Amino acid sequence: MNVFSHPDFDEHEKVLFGHDAESGLSAIIAVHNTNLGPALGGCRMWPYENDDEALRDVLRLSRGMTYKSALANLPLGGGKAVIIGNPREHKTPELLRAMGRLIESACGHYITAEDSGTSVPDLKIMAEETSFVAGIHEKHCLDGQTRSGDPSPSTAYGVFVGLKAAVQHRLGRTDLTGLKVAIQGVGNVGFRLAKHLKDAGAELWVTDIYDDMVQRCVNELGAAAVTAEEIFGLDVDVFAPCALGSVLNDDTIAQLKATVVAGAANNQLENDDRHGEQLRQRGILYAPDYAINSGGIIDVCYERLGNDDPDALNRHIETIHDTLMEIFTRSEQEQQPTHVVADAVAKERFTNPEKIHQAA
């Protein structure tokens, strides 16, 4: 397995491989950049087909976290962790504690949080072995109630805000009544996004690798269930990828009838240069993933800074709208794919730390 010559290695500061024979843990932590602060990013557990697939995912995800935090004006760097295994079959308290010890060995350069395949209870078990865990403390809500440290509600709200911005820019409408949206992946974030859209009057088509997740959307939100193969070619306004990455590729882009792609998944473009340009050439507006899905990292950053003001948090998340509008406008002016413009803005910020704005 090559790391330094890997096509997705991007001057990462640290890549840490961990194995614990007793618990069965096999995991990778990648720290991409810490110019703006410690690298914070979720811990994903997924049944990768092989080690190379896991390495590619963690390298790409950690880089995306650097860009995400910079674009969201947060004093954080970018990192990510992946555990190789099926979270429904292989996750045990012993494995999670071993992961906590691996995180602790990074000496604070990496701070973990929830991601696909992990939960707040999982993180609390990791926290028995390390203090470098975020997103586990209860927080106040706008209605005066409290919620768990799970940042997925904030991620989903931010994606909803960004999706509305994309629809406004591409379709010229602010009313989502009757808007047709296809959602790929309806886990913690995807389901909450679906609920926001349903409440706004949108029509929904959904798919997921887990049938029970799909059935929940059908029963509770009146969504139409479709297969994993059908989701790309539906005659809808918006395609919202909310599962794993590399979902926008030569095959799937050719199938798209949607004119907006706006979803929560990370690293949606299989090949950044080629597929971002393909979307632009086809007149499909792409909301860069790390720009639209930054609500969760904003939430976790506020927790780390001790800011428990839900109004301030929501106002910060709602800046995703203006950020995306700037990206969309510049993309048209410069005749560049939206992800190229987003990359340029983010890179300017994390390579020039004095330009970053601290979170409220």
The predicted pLDDT at position 350 comes to 87
The pairing of strands 77-84 and 39-46 is: parallel
What is residue 18's DSSP assignment?
E
Residue 340 one-letter amino acid: V
**Cα–Cα separations (whole angstroms), residue 14 to 5, 24, 244, 303:** 14, 23, 23, 25
Q: Per this entry, what is the length of the chain?
A: 360
Which of 244, 198, 241 has its CA nearest to residue 217?
Answer: 198
Of 80, 91, 164, 198, the active-site residue reads: 80
Max distance between CA atoms of the chain, in angstroms, equals 57
This prediction's pTM: 0.85
Return the bridge partners of 79, or none: 31
Position 358 pLDDT exceeds 50: no
Domains and CATH numbers, the chain: 14-63+74-136 (3.40.50.10860), 152-350 (3.40.50.720)
Condensed to tens digits (0 to 9), the pLDDT of residues 22-69 reads: 999 999 999 999 999 999 999 999 999 999 999 999 999 999 899 999
80 classed as catalytic: yes
pLDDT tens per residue across span 170-207: 999 999 999 999 999 999 999 999 999 999 999 999 99
* Chain segment 103-139, per-residue pLDDT in tens: 999 999 999 999 989 999 999 999 999 999 998 887 7
- Tell me what pLDDT residue 354 has: 64
